[in-house]
Amino acid sequence: MGSPGRVIAEDIDAQALKLVRERCAQEKVSNVSVLVGGMEDPKLPAGAVDVALMVNVLSALGNAKTFLANLARSLKPDGRLVVIDWNPGKLYPQMAEQETKSALRRTLRQLQDADFEVLKVLDFLPTQTIWICRRRDQG
């Protein structure tokens, strides 16, 4: 992101956002705003987001379909969703391969059920998998 870009740091944890504000002030970063979201709605502005990044969030959501549908509304027409989430097979090497595949299929299904198309899956991180997606209606 270049200097004219804007970052919206969204979290449900106000304390985490306080730390973001403090760090931005310390580093003299002025293009980051913070937003307290909800468990089913990130409350991001409609049609305003180029890239939404979720790190270790999808696996913790109670209602992923609702959250992702609300998030989809915030994406620009050519916007992307990048999900970085735990890969249980990497976290727990003793886990059976079938259980690992089942968990990864569940993530894929959650994204597809919310009308996202997975464009690419990257698997180079030590404990996580990366899913790059777009809204299915942008195909």
pLDDT in tens, the chain (139 residues): 556 778 999 999 999 999 999 999 999 999 999 999 999 999 999 999 999 999 999 988 888 999 999 999 999 999 999 999 988 888 887 777 777 788 888 899 999 999 999 999 999 999 999 999 999 886 5
Domain boundaries defined on the chain: 1-37, 40-138
- Give SS3 for 48: coil
pTM exceeds 0.85 for this model: yes
pLDDT value at residue 97: 77
Write phi, then psi, for 87 (nearest 5 degrees): -110, 105
pLDDT value at residue 98: 76
Q: Which CATH class is domain 40-138?
A: alpha beta
Q: Which residue has the tokens 């894929």?
A: 108
